[in-house]
Structures are given as structure tokens and as C-alpha cells.
Structure 1
Amino acid sequence: MKRRNFIKAATITGAGVSFFPAACKVSAANLKDYQKPNPICVATWNFHEASKTAGELLYNGIPALDAAEQGVKVEEANLSNTTVGNGGAPDRDGNVTLDASIMAPNGDCGSVVYLKEIEHPVSVARKVMEETPHVMLAGEGALQFAIQQGFKRQNLLTKESEEAWKEWLKKKEYKPIINIENHDTIGMLCIDETGDIAGACTTSGLAYKMNGRVGDSPIIGAGLYLDNEIGGAVATGMGEAIVKSVGSFLIVELMRQGKTPQEACEIAVQRIVKQHKNYKDFQVAFLALDKNGNVGSYCIHQGFTYVKYQDKQNTNIPSKSHL
């Protein structure tokens, strides 16, 4: 029998089901009770204006991908936020370097790492996704690409951040402060009126990090991951621990297996706790959203919150924690 005829016959007959049991199980588990939720935006920490911006766009019929990008751009431009975008705390050598990623409902994604002098790395990441055959661009290559795409170079080291860095240089002591120095990321997930989900994640990284250090935020599967049939997850906190656990991907896969967003976030944190004997010395937090609009979050230490915009209401919600 010719191969194409064999495949056709297999899919028509009952025997065809046995060839793809896992795929059938996934569809049944996750789409059986699916009800399209009202548009919803969730974001790490209490980034109130960012979630409001994205949420209002969603309720005006804007696609999830556009809403997520515009939402996190609010914090990239916020000079008082020293952990994201313009005004971010520099590395040990005084360089403000930015990381960002974005992911679309169809599974496309883009990211930039170690990007200097560009205020909105998330928009450059989107250009990488849409205008190149690549997923990630780094350093000088990312900067050159951004300029070619029309982005303008600017000094991102504000006077306040420079003064804080010079003060740090007196002792050069590096000790992450839970929920303060690790409050380093805005991760956002959006579901639009069509039911599609998209996400974005952007950061300036840990304050006074080693020159060249990259955390979890631009790593697809670590700081951000989504599947338009299942849901999505974002992370914040100590990026090294998140990268080692591939945390966001893990959460989405656990939801695929039938776990709720809350259960999936708790399992991901427990794995990190088990893996790291010094887990009490750092913070890790996850935020997840499934296709039904259910939200879950979990962290190591108390203090992490997330913001949710739905039904035109913006709410800051404290996360459950391991400690």
C-alpha cells in the first residue's frame, strides 16, 4: 500500500486513534470544558499602569500580542522603575543592559539580550520575531538590528541610577535583597476577545550584575512560555534558578497534563526548593494563566504580588508562598 493511502486509511478507521493516543488525550483534557473568558491581563508585581494599559486595549478589541507589548512598554519607559528599561540599574561596570522576550499565539517568539541604548527592548524582540528568521539577537548585533529598524539610541543611565551605582562601588558588595533587588521583571500574559493568548517579559536584570550576565527573562521556556491551546506562564526573581528549572515551560506542560495554574506554579517552585539548598536566600515567583482565564501564582518568600485586569477592574493580589 502506498504511504499516503495507508495514512488515509488509518485516520478513517478506528485503528487511526491508536496511532495518536497522546494527542487525543491532550485535546480532551484541555479543550473539553473550554469556555472563552472575558479579556484578561495579568502581570508580575503591582505594575498597575502597565496592566491597565494592556487591559483597556484588550477591551477595545486590540489583539493580545499588541496589548502585551504596549503594556510592558509602560514600565520600560518608567524612569522611577530601576529594574526595567530606561533608568534600570546598571551592571558592575556602569552599563545599563536590557533583556526582553515576546511570544505570539501562533507560537512565534523573539528576544533580545544584552541590549544597550534602546528604551524598548520588547519592541525590538517583536521585530526579531517578525522580521528575521531568528529567535534571539544579542549585544552589538541586537543594537545594530534595532537601529536598522528605526529605533533611536539614547542614554539609559539616569542621574539617580548613576549615583546609586557609584555608592555601590565604595563597597562592591553583591547580596540579592529578597523582593527588592530581585524585583527585576515585568512579565505579562493577555487573553483577548477572540480567546488568543500572548505574553511579554522585560527587565534590566539584577542590579550590579557581572558584565554580560543574562537572566531568565529573554529565555523562551524560562521567563516566558505559552501554548495557545493551554495557557501561559511568566517568572520573576532569581533568573539563574528559573533557567535551571525551565520554569515557565514546566508550568504550561503541567497544565497540559490537567493541573490547575495554581497547582502547576506550586510544583515548579517546589522543584526549585528541592534543587537549591540555599533557596531561603533568594526569591522566585511564577504567574500562570490558562485558556479559561484561571490564574495561579506561587513564590518562595512572602511578598510577591501580581496584578489582574478583568471586567475593567484592576486588582493587586498577594501570592501564596512556600515560606
Structure 2
Amino acid sequence: MKGRRRFLGHMALSAGAMSLARGVMAGPAESAVVRGGRVVSTWDFGVGANQAAWQRLSTGASALDAVEHGARWAESELCNPTVGRCGNPDREGVLTLDASIMDGDGRCGAVAALEDIDHPISVARRVMEDTPHVMLVGKGAQQFAMAQGFRRQRLLTPEAEQAWREWRERAKYEPQINVERNLTPGNKENHDTLGMLAIDRDGRLAGACTTSGMAWKMHGRVGDSPLIGAGLYVDNEVGAATASGVGEEMIRNAASFLVVELMRQGRTPMEACREAIARVVRKRPEASRSLQVCFLAMNRHGEVGAFALHPGFVYAVCDADKQDTLRAADAVYDGAAA
């Protein structure tokens, strides 16, 4: 009996020591939260989006306000063929926009296949705050947006329309893996969905995702970006994750939710992203050779990690020290099991 008590006492001390060690390890990351928060975003244009988000975060705004503001910048100020008003249309020549937003307390909202309404991220937030639903799509999403005061306007740019007309001459859809590793902010070779994660000075998390989807997609196609758990997932108790690349693979694996749950089990953000990639590959090895899949994650202490299936993925990091940091993915999948 005495031996058992000594054993249990030893285990309690060991657990306390491990807890203390974790607290010490978390210290530097937690200091970033205390000092004002952190924002991370996918791709090179995430630098500008982060800077817009930081305008809010640095003044004490919530992480939710920050990610909405950053995503709005990408939807209107950035002119990119995969995000917002400058996005490329579907194969019918129709531009549709998708977006989702999620607070760390579990609240979330999304819109999909939204036409002729700028700032889908703000419409998504209205869905979250002003309806009992999570997602509105198509004409219903447009009707709701207009009732909320958003103005209907033609968003398809002449450049995007011309690109569509040129595509129609060959009418072939071929997703291309971006193999460039250009870490210069503004590099137009790196572009895709904007996924943004933020943690504010109070330790609250939030995320946003906005896109015009695949160029030349079938009319009515919706990818992972507006689907909570696929393109975006946030949990104040654990962390947040967002995805980029071919959305169908994220949907098949509930990928962003998977990354967060792996962090809940003790993985670092980078380890969680890597294991999620490995699962995608194991399920569809034939597709993994030609499709890009990327994950970006941040835990509740502000630690960041990213992983990609193929080279080319970059992400932006912003905090009180620096607002224009651009990094390559921490690693690229090497084919090893996870």
C-alpha cells in the first residue's frame, strides 16, 4: 500500500513537472498574444491582408473584427483571379463568390455561389450574427445580402471576361500545381484562396476564408472555402486551421477540422498539418500527384505551422514585431507515412 502511494505521488509530481515544462515552452508564444496578437494568411497577398487586419488588431479589436477587415481588403483592394471582385468566372462566364467566417466560440457563417455582391465575407458574418443558419447559397444569399443593405453590382471585370473568352476556345480545365517559391510580397505567381487566422490580445481566435473558386468550374460548383470544417475551423480551446489548394480534397477529409483535432491531441501546428496531408495522400494517392493541398494552422498560444503537398506554398505572418513577413511552407510532403 505504501508502495502504491509512493507511485501515485511520483506520478503526480511528474505530471506537475510536465505541466510546468509545457508552460515554460508556451511562454514565448503566449507573449505574442499579450503583446497584441498575431495574424497569419495564405499566399503572398496575405501580407496586404494581414496589414489590413493588423490595423484593427493593434488597436484592441477582436480577432473576429480583424479577420473580417483583412478579408475585405483582399476582396476589394487586391485584384486577383481567385479572390473577390477580380476573380475568374465559371465555365458559363458567371462570377460566383464564396466565403466563411468563424469565431473561436463556435459561431460561424458562410455564403456560397453568391453573385453580384461585393464583400462576401461581411455577408457571411451577417449570416452568423443575424440568422439562425450557418450557410446561405445562390439567390437566397444574394437576397439576404440585399436585405442587409449590400448593393447589387456587376463584379466581373473586363480582364476576367476576356480570360474566360480565351479559355472557351480550348474549353479544357486543368488544375495547375504552383511550383514557384517566390517570397517577394506581391509576387503574382502565387495565388489562391485567402485563408486568414488571428489571435487577439485576449487570446481569442477567429478565422476567415474568401475566394472566387476554381476558374472555369462547373456552374454551381462550391469548394471548401465556405464549408466550416473543410476550408476553415476555429476553436478557442485548441487553435485554428485553414486550407488552400483543390477544395474537393479538403471536403473529402474535413481537413481543417482534422488539423485542429490533431492539435487537440498534442501535435504542434506543423505536425498536425503534415499528418493531415498524409491522410489526403493515403486516401487518393493517384490525385496527389497532380493536385496541390496546403494547410496553415495556429494554436491557442500563437504558434504557427504550415505544410504543403507540393512546393510553392507561402504564407504571411504579422504581429507586433513585423507586419510583412512572408515564409515558405515549413516543409513539403516527402511521402513518409504519418
TM value normalised by structure 1 = 0.88
- Counterpart of 2:326 (choices 310, 316, 323) is 316
Do structure 1's residue 254 and structure 2's residue 252 form an aligned pair? no
1:31-53 deviation digits (Å, cap 9, x = unpaired): x7365333100000012111111
Instruction: Give 2:115's aligned residue.
Output: 116
Q: Distance in 2 between matches of 1:287 and 1:242?
A: 13
Is contact 2:190–2:312 with CA below 8 Å preserved after alignment?
no
- Counterpart of 1:198 (choices 202, 206, 209) is 206
Q: Distance in 2 between matches of 1:174 and 1:156?
A: 23
Instruction: Give 2:315's aligned residue.
Output: 306
- Counterpart of 2:193 (choices 174, 182, 185) is 185
Instruction: Give 1:233's aligned residue.
Output: 241
Give 1:60 shift.
1.2
Letter in 2 for 1:153: R
Instruction: Give 1:43's aligned residue.
Output: 41
Give 1:293 shift.
0.9
Letter in 1 for 2:231: G
Is contact 2:43–2:190 with CA below 8 Å preserved after alignment?
no
The unaligned stretches of length 5 or more in structure 1 are 1-24
Q: Distance in 2 between matches of 1:56 and 1:166?
A: 39
- Counterpart secondary structure, 1:267: helix
- Counterpart of 1:289 (choices 286, 290, 298) is 298
Is contact 2:80–2:191 with CA below 8 Å preserved after alignment?
no
More displaced, 44-53 or 91-100?
44-53
Letter in 2 for 1:267: E
1:1-323 to structure 2, matched below 5 A, reads: 33=23, 36=30, 37-38=32-33, 39-47=37-45, 48-78=47-77, 80-179=79-178, 183-276=191-284, 277-313=286-322, 314-319=324-329, 320-322=331-333
Q: Distance in 2 between matches of 1:154 and 1:265?
A: 38
Is contact 1:78–1:87 with CA below 8 Å preserved after alignment?
no
Give 1:87 shift.
1.2
Q: Distance in 2 between matches of 1:245 and 1:115?
A: 25
Q: Distance in 2 between matches of 1:312 and 1:169?
A: 47
Q: Distance in 1 between matches of 2:77 and 2:155?
A: 11
Letter in 1 for 2:309: I
Is contact 2:89–2:216 with CA below 8 Å preserved after alignment?
yes
Instruction: Give 1:15's aligned residue.
Output: none
Is contact 2:243–2:255 with CA below 8 Å preserved after alignment?
yes
Q: Distance in 1 between matches of 2:287 and 2:64?
A: 37
Give 1:84 shift.
0.6
Is contact 2:127–2:135 with CA below 8 Å preserved after alignment?
yes
Is contact 1:56–1:312 with CA below 8 Å preserved after alignment?
no
Q: Distance in 2 between matches of 1:182 and 1:275?
A: 27
Q: Distance in 1 between matches of 2:80 and 2:318?
A: 21
Is contact 2:190–2:313 with CA below 8 Å preserved after alignment?
no
Q: Distance in 2 between matches of 1:79 and 1:116?
A: 18
Is contact 1:182–1:283 with CA below 8 Å preserved after alignment?
no
Q: Distance in 2 between matches of 1:179 and 1:215?
A: 18
Distance of aligned partners of 1:97 and 1:226 in 2 relative to their CA distance in 1, 3 Å threshold = same
- Counterpart secondary structure, 1:189: strand
The unaligned stretches of length 5 or more in structure 2 are 1-14, 180-188
Fraction of identical pairs, as percent: 52
Give 1:253 shift.
0.4
- Counterpart secondary structure, 1:134: coil
More displaced, 208-217 or 44-53?
44-53
Is contact 1:78–1:85 with CA below 8 Å preserved after alignment?
no
Instruction: Give 2:186's aligned residue.
Output: none
Give 1:257 shift.
0.6
1:11-62 deviation digits (Å, cap 9, x = unpaired): xxxxxxxxxxxxxx9xx98xx7365333100000012111111123211111
Distance of aligned partners of 1:111 and 1:191 in 2 relative to their CA distance in 1, 3 Å threshold = same
Instruction: Give 1:20's aligned residue.
Output: none
Q: Distance in 2 between matches of 1:54 and 1:77?
A: 14
Q: Distance in 1 between matches of 2:221 and 2:142?
A: 17
Instruction: Give 1:19's aligned residue.
Output: none
